[in-house]
Amino acid sequence: MFKIIFSAVLVVLAVSQNTGSDVPPFLRRASQAQLQAFQALIQNHGHLTEAGLEAKVQQWAKAQGGNVAYDFAEFEKFVTGAKHQANAAHDAALAKFTPAARKADADLSAIAAQTNLPVREKGMKIQAYLNSLAPSVLKELQAAHEAGQGR
């Protein structure tokens, strides 16, 4: 579940209707116009796969220049460096999961691994699956996710 940090950001943004609370780190110094342009980019390209949407975001960030381009490049470095740590945290959490949480994690990972699914559809599948979980399993997954993020 922690394997693809950047993709997770894109999936959350693609299904999110919030206009400011889910701002990715590379947009913290962006102007209001850039935030709105990014939100439109995500909303208008949810039909793309993760790879396609990631390419659009990279192109957009580079075209913004300034803080956005710099912060995006730094974010990409962070994501690359964090993958190993995220996988290790995921493995540690998985070892402690109940059988139901282990199954849920495997099912969510299988959905996340479907590279042919458009981002919007993948996000909706993940959200529907999460909504179908028993509250105790969802709480267990959320606790592991928050622990993996250092909260």
Please write the tens of the pLDDT for every residue from 133-143.
Answer: 999 999 888 88
Using the predicted structure, report yes or no on whether residue 49 has a pLDDT greater than 70. yes
Residue 151: which pLDDT band, with cuts at 50, 70 and 90? very low
Residue 85: which pLDDT band, with cuts at 50, 70 and 90? confident
Q: Which residue ranges make up each domain of the chain?
A: 5-148
93-98 long-range contacts, Cβ below 8 Å, gap at least 24? 93/144, 93/147, 93/148, 96/144, 97/140, 97/144, 98/137, 98/140
Kindly report the pTM of this predicted structure: 0.67
